């Protein structure tokens, strides 16, 4: 790229950091005076049903840290609350910049927004430049030998790894041109309250915000990396990196994470690197199959499965009242914290679709509303995997047994006890299927199943037969 301007504007979005930042680096390198901005976009915020949204508080705290970091360089971050499609062109004109720089966003609504902004800027004689930043490989960078996109993860991963070299993992040396930041001071950060949002329990959770919080989590995880394979599937153990939300909002660089895993090597680091590759995989699936963003299944034959969609069962799932302890504990974790362990995301999704016979899109939307780290491509990919409607999905005839999953991944019941205190007195055998406890044992423990904790709302064996018939009929239907 060859761009040279006197004055430029960097538009931060899901890249809330001041280092290893593609758009910021390119703007600083090519311009003599660079302004920075973040827009609390009302076209997104106004659609959020809950005004006590932890994600908005996380963004606000991370924007605050970014603003302070830029101020320490003698610069500042212009923060506005309004429609980005209006605010960016207006700000670009007010600052008399020649170009606006941003990083790619891959979701359809964001692509439409960026096209609208670019069109407005071009009409005003202002250039718009966008760069790859939140993935290692994007769009058409990893294709089959025949030039087609991959639909199965393992071949994609092998091709991804074959293509990878040090060039793709290099950090953008922002500091080299940091003197080109515009030296000025702008207005204070608008408060959450002034934008119509409220404080949440985020401050009491073990989730540090901003660039500094991301680095603390990453440094902690590096020490635990040698145990990643052994620990990652057990929700009662500190196994994951807990960096998914920081990756979502770009408070940490994907290149930094992938570079560390790549250089560290070994089975544990390679397994974690695979998780990062899944992100790229789902982003390219969205790019090549945009119909999934319109509520369609990746596999057309399963697009209109006739799910009964019992509303009472769905609400029991949402509220963690299904009578299956591991499922309920996971849903309560989600509702209370906005986060859910990855193994439990698979268990709860499988249970909703294949035990409760409810359309996967209902669960996808619920997670979209609740998850702190909600990212459309990964959330959609995960739900379609569990529902057997997506690319490289779990075969439709494979169905998680919620009790077996509980016994395997929370054998001692530690995770269940944390979120279902009414079952705390149960021993490690009883806690996975408490409805099997004799009445005398329930009296001894001071708990009545069906009153203090619900009986199972469905029978797993019965529902298994029903869902298999539903999928078998759909798979046998003519295209």
Structure tokens, 31: 């311009």
Asked whether the predicted pLDDT for residue 308 surpasses 70, the reply is yes
Establish how many alpha carbons lie within 13 A of residue 358's alpha carbon, considering only the half-sphere containing its beta carbon: 25
Nearest to 234 by CA among 111, 410, 103: 410
Nearest to 258 by CA among 242, 243, 269: 269
pLDDT tens per residue, range 327-350: 999 999 999 999 999 999 999 999
Q: How many CB atoms lie within 10 A of CB 160?
A: 23
The answer to whether the predicted template modeling score (pTM) of the entire model surpasses 0.85 is yes
**Residue 226 to residue 415: CA distance in whole angstroms:** 23
103 in the Ramachandran plot: left (φ > 0), alpha (ψ -120 to 50) or beta? beta
Q: What is the mean pLDDT of residues 389-402?
A: 88
Q: For residue 302, with 0-12 CB atoms within 10 Å meaning exposed, 13-18 middle and 19 or more buried, which class applies? A: buried
The one-character DSSP state at 73 is: T
Q: For residue 442, with 0-12 CB atoms within 10 Å meaning exposed, 13-18 middle and 19 or more buried, which class applies? A: buried
Alpha helix (H) ranges present in 34-107? 42-45, 54-71, 84-95
Q: What is the mean pLDDT of the chain?
A: 95
CA 344 to chain centre: 15
Structure tokens, 458: 């469905």
| 400 band by pLDDT with thresholds 50, 70 and 90 | very high
| 409 band by pLDDT with thresholds 50, 70 and 90 | very high
CA 221 to chain centre: 18
Give the pLDDT of residue 389: 94
Nearest to 102 by CA among 78, 124, 119, 127: 127
Give the pLDDT of residue 396: 85
**Residue 471 to residue 386: CA distance in whole angstroms:** 13
DSSP of 433-452? SGGGS-HHHHHHHT--BTTT
Q: How many CB atoms lie within 10 A of CB 4?
A: 10
* Ramachandran angles phi, psi of 459, nearest 5°: -100, 120
pLDDT tens per residue, range 221-237: 999 999 999 999 999 99
| 477 band by pLDDT with thresholds 50, 70 and 90 | low
Residues in the chain: 479
Nearest 5°: CA angle at 338, between 333 and 344?
Answer: 50
Asked whether the predicted pLDDT for residue 420 surpasses 90, the reply is yes
Structure tokens, 296: 């369609």
pLDDT tens per residue, range 171-193: 999 999 999 999 999 999 999 99
Structure tokens, 455: 């009986």
DSSP of 239-280? -S---HHHHHHTSS-HHHHHHHHHHH-HHHHHHHHHHHHHHH
Q: For residue 248, with 0-12 CB atoms within 10 Å meaning exposed, 13-18 middle and 19 or more buried, which class applies? A: buried
Percent of the residues in the chain that have a pLDDT greater than 70, as a whole number: 99
Integer angstrom CA distances of residue 335 from 51, 210, 326, 338: 15, 23, 14, 6
pLDDT tens per residue, range 422-465: 999 999 999 999 999 999 999 999 999 999 999 999 999 999 99
Domains in the chain: ranges and CATH = 5-133 (3.40.50.620), 134-170+212-288 (1.25.40.80), 300-474 (1.10.579.10)
Structure tokens, 16: 């809330």
Contact 157, 274 (CB under 8 A): yes
| 250 band by pLDDT with thresholds 50, 70 and 90 | very high
Asked whether the predicted pLDDT for residue 479 surpasses 80, the reply is no
pLDDT tens per residue, range 160-174: 999 999 999 999 999
Looking up tokens 């439709």 gives 396
Give the pLDDT of residue 475: 78
Give the pLDDT of residue 364: 98
Q: For residue 450, with 0-12 CB atoms within 10 Å meaning exposed, 13-18 middle and 19 or more buried, which class applies? A: exposed
Is beta strand 99-103 parallel, antiparallel or unpaired with respect to 77-82?
unpaired
**Residue 25 to residue 418: CA distance in whole angstroms:** 45
* Ramachandran angles phi, psi of 247, nearest 5°: -65, -40
Establish how many alpha carbons lie within 13 A of residue 429's alpha carbon, considering only the half-sphere containing its beta carbon: 3
Asked whether the predicted pLDDT for residue 36 surpasses 80, the reply is yes
| 478 band by pLDDT with thresholds 50, 70 and 90 | low
């Amino acid at each position: 790229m060859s761009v040279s301007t006197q004055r430029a504007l960097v538009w931060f979005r899901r890249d809330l950091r001041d280092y290893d930042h593609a758009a910021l680096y390119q703007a600083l390198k090519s311009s003599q005076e660079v302004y920075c901005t973040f827009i609390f976009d009302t076209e997104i915020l106004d659609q959020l049903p809950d005004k006590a949204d932890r994600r908005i508080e996380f963004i606000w705290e991370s924007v605050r840290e970014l603003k302070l970091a830029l101020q320490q360089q003698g610069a500042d971050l212009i923060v506005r609350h309004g429609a980005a499609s209006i605010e960016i062109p207006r700000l670009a004109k007010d600052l008399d910049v020649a170009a606006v720089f941003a990083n790619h966003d891959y979701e359809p609504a964001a692509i439409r927004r960026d096209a609208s902004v670019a069109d407005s800027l071009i009409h005003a004689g202002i250039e718009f430049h966008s760069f790859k930043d939140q993935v290692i490989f994007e769009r058409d960078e990893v294709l089959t030998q025949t030039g087609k996109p991959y639909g199965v993860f393992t071949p994609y991963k092998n091709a991804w790894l074959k293509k990878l070299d040090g060039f793709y993992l290099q950090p953008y040396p922002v500091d080299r041109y940091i003197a080109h930041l515009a030296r000025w001071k702008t207005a204070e950060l608008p408060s959450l309250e002034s934008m119509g949002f409220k404080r949440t329990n985020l401050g009491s959770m073990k989730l540090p915000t901003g660039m500094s919080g991301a680095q603390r989590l990453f440094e902690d995880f590096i020490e635990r990396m040698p145990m990643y394979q052994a620990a990652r599937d057990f929700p009662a153990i500190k196994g994951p990196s807990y960096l998914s939300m920081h990756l979502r909002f770009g408070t940490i660089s994907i290149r930094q994470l992938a570079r560390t895993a790549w250089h560290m090597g070994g089975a544990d680091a390679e397994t974690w690197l695979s998780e990062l590759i899944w992100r790229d995989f789902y982003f390219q699936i969205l790019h090549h199959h945009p119909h999934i963003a319109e509520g369609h299944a990746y596999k057309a034959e399963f697009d209109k499965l006739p799910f009964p969609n019992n509303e009472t069962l769905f609400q029991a799932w949402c509220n963690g009242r299904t009578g299956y302890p591991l499922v309920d504990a996971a849903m309560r974790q989600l509702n209370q914290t906005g986060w859910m362990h990855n193994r439990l995301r698979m268990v709860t999704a499988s249970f909703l679709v294949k035990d409760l016979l409810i359309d996967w899109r209902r669960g996808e939307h619920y997670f979209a509303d609740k998850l702190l780290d909600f990212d459309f491509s990964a959330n959609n990919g995960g739900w379609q995997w569990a529902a057997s409607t997506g690319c490289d999905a779990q075969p439709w005839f494979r169905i998680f047994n919620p009790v077996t999953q509980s016994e395997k991944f929370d054998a001692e019941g530690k995770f269940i006890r944390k979120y279902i205190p009414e079952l705390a007195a149960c021993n490690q055998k009883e806690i996975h299927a408490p409805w099997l406890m004799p009445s005398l044992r329930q009296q001894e423990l001071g708990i009545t199943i069906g009153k203090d904790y619900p009986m199972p709302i469905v029978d797993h064996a019965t529902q298994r037969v029903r869902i298999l018939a539903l999928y078998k009929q759909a798979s046998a239907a003519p295209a």
